[in-house]
Homo-oligomer: A and B are copies of this chain.
Protein backbone atom coordinates (compact mmCIF):
# COMPACT_ATOMS: atom_id res chain seq x y z
CA UNK A 1 0.00 0.00 0.00
CA UNK A 2 2.48 2.52 -1.21
CA UNK A 3 0.96 5.99 -0.97
CA UNK A 4 -0.10 7.65 -4.19
CA UNK A 5 1.35 10.96 -5.22
CA UNK A 6 -1.96 12.72 -4.73
CA UNK A 7 -2.13 11.62 -1.12
CA UNK A 8 1.00 13.60 -0.31
CA UNK A 9 -0.30 16.83 -1.81
CA UNK A 10 -3.72 16.42 -0.27
CA UNK A 11 -2.20 15.73 3.12
CA UNK A 12 -0.25 18.99 2.95
CA UNK A 13 -3.33 21.01 2.04
CA UNK A 14 -4.51 21.38 5.64
CA UNK A 15 -2.86 23.91 7.97
CA UNK A 16 -3.33 21.73 11.04
CA UNK A 17 -1.57 18.84 9.33
CA UNK A 18 1.29 21.13 8.37
CA UNK A 19 1.55 22.24 11.99
CA UNK A 20 1.70 18.58 13.02
CA UNK A 21 4.62 18.06 10.63
CA UNK A 22 6.30 21.15 12.08
CA UNK A 23 5.84 19.78 15.57
CA UNK A 24 7.14 16.32 14.66
CA UNK A 25 10.17 17.86 12.99
CA UNK A 26 10.98 19.80 16.13
CA UNK A 27 10.41 16.85 18.46
CA UNK A 28 10.35 13.40 17.02
CA UNK A 29 8.47 10.42 18.47
CA UNK A 30 5.51 12.18 20.06
CA UNK A 31 2.36 10.41 21.14
CA UNK A 32 -1.12 11.54 20.20
CA UNK A 33 -1.79 13.33 23.49
CA UNK A 34 1.64 14.91 23.44
CA UNK A 35 0.92 16.30 19.98
CA UNK A 36 -2.46 17.65 21.01
CA UNK A 37 -1.10 19.56 23.98
CA UNK A 38 1.90 20.91 22.12
CA UNK A 39 -0.26 22.04 19.22
CA UNK A 40 -2.33 24.05 21.66
CA UNK A 41 0.67 25.46 23.52
CA UNK A 42 3.03 26.29 20.70
CA UNK A 43 0.83 26.76 17.64
CA UNK A 44 -2.32 28.27 19.12
CA UNK A 45 -4.45 25.49 17.69
CA UNK A 46 -7.49 24.09 19.45
CA UNK A 47 -7.82 20.68 17.88
CA UNK A 48 -9.45 17.83 19.74
CA UNK A 49 -7.80 14.48 20.21
CA UNK A 50 -10.00 12.83 17.59
CA UNK A 51 -9.30 15.56 15.08
CA UNK A 52 -5.54 15.19 15.48
CA UNK A 53 -5.91 11.42 15.29
CA UNK A 54 -7.69 11.67 11.97
CA UNK A 55 -5.06 14.08 10.70
CA UNK A 56 -2.37 11.60 11.67
CA UNK A 57 -4.19 8.90 9.71
CA UNK A 58 -4.07 11.08 6.62
CA UNK A 59 -0.41 11.89 7.13
CA UNK A 60 0.45 8.24 7.68
CA UNK A 61 -1.46 7.22 4.56
CA UNK A 62 0.59 9.79 2.66
CA UNK A 63 3.80 8.30 4.03
CA UNK A 64 4.73 11.55 5.76
CA UNK A 65 4.45 10.07 9.25
CA UNK A 66 5.68 6.70 10.43
CA UNK A 67 4.39 5.10 13.62
CA UNK A 68 5.65 2.55 16.09
CA UNK A 69 3.74 0.97 18.94
CA UNK A 70 5.16 0.27 22.37
CA UNK A 71 2.70 -1.00 24.91
CA UNK A 72 -0.21 1.38 25.03
CA UNK A 73 1.78 4.19 23.47
CA UNK A 74 2.03 4.94 19.79
CA UNK A 75 4.89 7.14 18.72
CA UNK A 76 4.89 9.22 15.56
CA UNK A 77 7.91 10.17 13.48
CA UNK A 78 8.27 12.53 10.54
CA UNK A 79 9.35 11.19 7.15
CA UNK A 80 10.13 13.86 4.61
CA UNK A 81 10.97 11.41 1.84
CA UNK A 82 7.62 11.78 0.02
CA UNK A 83 8.24 15.51 -0.28
CA UNK A 84 10.83 14.70 -2.91
CA UNK A 85 7.95 14.01 -5.27
CA UNK A 86 7.31 17.75 -5.27
CA UNK A 87 10.83 18.98 -5.85
CA UNK A 88 11.50 16.34 -8.46
CA UNK A 89 8.32 17.01 -10.41
CA UNK A 90 8.81 20.71 -11.04
CA UNK A 91 12.49 21.36 -11.20
CA UNK A 92 13.29 23.95 -8.60
CA UNK A 93 16.27 26.04 -9.55
CA UNK A 94 18.64 26.28 -6.59
CA UNK A 95 18.54 29.69 -4.96
CA UNK A 96 22.27 29.52 -4.38
CA UNK A 97 24.70 26.94 -5.56
CA UNK A 98 27.20 26.32 -2.75
CA UNK A 99 29.73 24.74 -5.12
CA UNK A 100 29.62 27.25 -7.93
CA UNK A 101 32.92 27.84 -9.69
CA UNK A 102 32.96 31.26 -11.39
**Alpha-carbon distance A6/B17, docked complex (angstroms):** 11
Is A50 in the interface zone, CB < 8 Å from B?
no
The residue on B at minimum CB distance from A12 is: B9
A interface secondary structure, majority = helix
Q: Contacts A9-B13, A13-B12 given: A92-B87 contact, CB under 8 Å?
A: yes
How many copies of the polypeptide does the oligomer hold?
2
Assess the B86–A91 pair: CB atoms within 8 A.
no
Residues of B within 8 A of A93 (CB): 80
User: Which residues 69-102 of A have a CB within 8 angstroms of B?
Assistant: 78, 80, 83-84, 86-87, 89-93, 95, 98-99
B95 pairs with A84, CB closer than 8 A: yes
Q: Which residues of A contact B (CB under 8 A)?
A: 6, 9-10, 12-13, 15, 18, 21-22, 25, 78, 80, 83-84, 86-87, 89-93, 95, 98-99
Given contacts A10-B13, A22-B90, A80-B93, 19 further A-B contacts (CB under 8 A): A9-B12, A9-B18, A12-B12, A12-B86, A13-B13, A18-B89, A21-B90, A22-B89, A25-B91, A80-B91, A80-B92, A83-B86, A83-B87, A83-B92, A84-B92, A86-B86, A87-B87, A98-B99, A99-B99
